[in-house]
């Protein structure tokens, strides 16, 4: 070829941790990236609220108006890194209407407004790429949408929030209390001043909602995702799980069943021998079970400047390759043709089948355990293991592991157990997943 394709010009909106990382990786690896795309990528404009001290932006055009980037005729691709719902949604829709491709790391935006955004992108024949929205630098969307495209995916399970995983890892390694470790996570910058999104599972639910749609070809339904946090997990539960051969992880799980799709984020006991049970600290991992390939696992840094930039730029590279081909056909945003999207319902939690760990505080007197096992037996719940701990007071903790049971039956049994005169307080219950291939 005698001529050189002109550079692709990029606008970055949001120049914090990820924006700065994206700029730096683009600069540092520009030769390698150009070798992969066949054309240069140039940062045309940056929208920032304050300068990023980790970046030398040279003579790049800088503005404090994100919409100036979306409306800049010289920008081919807009990278949205401002986060949140608004003005991010209006920014992305403006860029799409202006015929620009979009790369985003905004999981809340895609999980809640993705259906509308993807429809607009299809109408204007542009790409909205969102690999960086889930699990930082791990290319999980590409893996499922492309690498596992031959498979019918049965289920996937992920540790997709580094903050929660760091807290549970510290609780296990050092026997510390939740509140104590949360404070340290905030001091280390792993947790926000308001840690609700991380510790209550909302962040993981955003990501799981997207993964479930990519896995099963269903519309994004964040409002249907069951979400339970880790703030009630005690050091005692972490130690008990360990003694039974399990680890507690804050797990996002989505599974295809004949009745519907399970979509749930909650603390979970996982057998300690599973690879995913040994993912510690702020690391992320996603385990995907496909019918042809069996179980595959994807592990890596779930956050951070350059790991997330790695995913942002990977999406950018895909778009640039596409632009060079002048395509009129785009890969569907969720990997399934829009007209073939499934209307499988999301399964309500009371219909989900899972095993349970229970911790029940009972009075130290004969016959109490018999009453509890009678209630479980009457509800058709089989017991896998039972332990009565040595006691230092009149209250004795009893630990019960059940076999898989319909959650609705479990709810009724727990209500009956809590009503017993010799049971004090609420029953602690944590779901158990085997995650075997």
Return the CATH number at 407.
Answer: 3.30.70.260
Does the N-terminal peptide bond of residue 207 adopt cis geometry, omega within 30 degrees of 0? no
Q: What is the CATH number of the domain that holds 31?
A: 3.40.50.720
Question: Higher-confidence residue: 402 or 186?
Answer: 402
Does 332 lie in the same domain as 287?
Answer: no
Residue with token string 């994100």: 66
Q: Summarize pLDDT for 269-326 with one digit per residue, the tens.
A: 999 999 999 999 999 999 999 999 999 999 999 988 999 999 999 999 999 998 877 6
pLDDT, residue 223, reads 97
Strands 153-159 and 283-290: antiparallel
Which of 207, 249, 273, 365 is labelled catalytic?
207
Q: Rounded to two decimals, what is the model's pTM?
A: 0.95
Q: Annotated catalytic, 207?
A: yes
Does 331 lie in the same domain as 196?
Answer: no
Considering the domain boundaries, does residue 342 fall inside one?
no
Does 96 lie in the same domain as 187?
Answer: no
Considering the domain boundaries, does residue 20 fall inside one?
yes
Considering the domain boundaries, does residue 347 fall inside one?
no
Angle at 125 between CA 120 and CA 129, to 5 degrees: 75
Q: Summarize pLDDT for 240-268 with one digit per residue, the tens.
A: 999 999 999 999 999 999 999 999 999 99
Q: What is the CATH number of the domain that holds 289?
A: 3.30.360.10
Considering the domain boundaries, does residue 344 fall inside one?
no
Residue 185 has pLDDT above 50, yes or no: yes
Does 146 lie in the same domain as 80?
Answer: no
CA distances from 148 to 152, 184, 274, 285, 319 (A): 8, 39, 22, 17, 20
Helix (H), strand (E) at residue 284: strand 283-290
Considering the domain boundaries, does residue 3 fall inside one?
no
Rounded Cα distance between 371 and 402, Å, is 16
Does 313 lie in the same domain as 192?
Answer: no
Considering the domain boundaries, does residue 346 fall inside one?
no
Does 288 lie in the same domain as 163?
Answer: yes
As given in the structure block, the two tokens for residue 19 are: 């924006």
3-state secondary structure of 227: strand
Residue 350 has pLDDT above 60, yes or no: yes
Domain count, the chain: 3
pLDDT, residue 2, reads 44
Q: Summarize pLDDT for 333-346 with one digit per residue, the tens.
A: 888 988 888 999 99
Q: Which of 206, 294, 280 is nearest to 238 (CA)?
A: 280
Does 149 lie in the same domain as 269?
Answer: yes
Does 316 lie in the same domain as 221?
Answer: no
- 193 pLDDT band, cuts 50/70/90, is confident
Q: Summarize pLDDT for 38-55 with one digit per residue, the tens.
A: 999 999 999 999 999 999
Does 313 lie in the same domain as 186?
Answer: no
Q: Which of 367, 377, 359, 353 is nearest to 420 (CA)?
A: 367
Does 146 lie in the same domain as 131?
Answer: no
Considering the domain boundaries, does residue 131 fall inside one?
yes
Q: Summarize pLDDT for 140-156 with one digit per residue, the tens.
A: 999 999 999 999 999 99
pLDDT, residue 392, reads 67
pLDDT, residue 388, reads 86
Contact 387, 299 (CB under 8 A): no
pLDDT, residue 394, reads 78
Considering the domain boundaries, does residue 102 fall inside one?
yes
Does 278 lie in the same domain as 423?
Answer: no
Residue 4 has pLDDT above 80, yes or no: no
Does 191 lie in the same domain as 52?
Answer: no
CA distances from 314 to 82, 105, 158, 403 (A): 19, 12, 21, 43
pLDDT, residue 190, reads 83
Q: Which domain holds residue 100?
A: 8-137+305-337
């Amino acid at each position: 070829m005698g001529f050189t394709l002109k550079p692709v010009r990029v606008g970055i909106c949001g120049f914090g941790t990820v924006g700065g990382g994206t700029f730096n990786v683009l600069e540092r690896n520009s030769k390698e990236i150009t070798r992969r795309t066949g054309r240069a990528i140039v940062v045309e404009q940056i929208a920032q609220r304050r300068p990023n001290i980790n970046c030398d932006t040279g003579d790049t055009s800088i503005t404090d108006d994100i919409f100036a980037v979306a409306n800049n005729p010289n920008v081919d691709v807009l990278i949205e890194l401002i986060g949140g719902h608004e003005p991010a949604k209006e920014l992305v829709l403006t860029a799409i209407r202006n015929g620009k491709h979009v790369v985003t790391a905004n999981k809340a935006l895609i999980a809640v407004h993705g259906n509308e955004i993807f429809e607009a992108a299809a109408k204007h024949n542009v790409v909205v790429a969102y690999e960086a929205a889930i699990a930082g630098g791990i290319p999980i969307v590409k893996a499922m949408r492309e690498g596992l495209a031959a498979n019918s995916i049965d289920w996937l399970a992920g540790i997709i929030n580094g903050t929660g995983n760091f807290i549970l890892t510290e609780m296990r390694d050092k026997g510390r209390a939740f509140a104590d470790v949360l404070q340290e996570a905030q001091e280390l910058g792993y947790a926000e001043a308001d840690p609700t999104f991380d510790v209550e599972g909302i962040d993981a639910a955003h990501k799981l909602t997207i993964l479930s749609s990519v896995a099963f070809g269903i519309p994004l339904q964040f409002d249907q995702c069951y979400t339970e946090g880790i703030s009630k997990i005690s050091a005692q539960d972490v130690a008990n799980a360990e003694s039974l051969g399990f680890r507690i992880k804050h797990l996002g799980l989505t599974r295809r069943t004949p009745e519907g799709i399970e979509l749930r984020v909650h603390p979970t006991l996982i057998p300690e021998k599973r690879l995913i049970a040994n993912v510690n600290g702020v690391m992320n991992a996603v385990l995907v079970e496909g019918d042809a390939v069996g179980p595959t696992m994807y592990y890596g840094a779930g956050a951070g400047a350059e790991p997330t930039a790695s995913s942002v730029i990977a999406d950018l590279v895909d778009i640039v390759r596409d632009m060079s081909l002048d395509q009129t056909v785009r890969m569907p945003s969720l990997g399934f043709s829009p007209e073939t999207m499934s209307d499988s319902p999301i399964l309500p939690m009371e219909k989900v089948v899972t095993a349970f760990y229970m911790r029940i505080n009972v009075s130290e007197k004969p016959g109490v355990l018999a009453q509890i096992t009678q209630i479980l037996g009457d509800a058709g719940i089989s017991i896998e293991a039972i332990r009565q701990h040595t006691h230092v007071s009149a209250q004795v903790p009893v630990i019960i592991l059940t076999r898989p049971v319909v959650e609705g039956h479990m709810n009724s049994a727990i209500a009956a157990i809590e009503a017993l005169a010799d049971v004090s307080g609420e029953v602690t219950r944590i779901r158990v997943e085997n995650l075997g291939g």
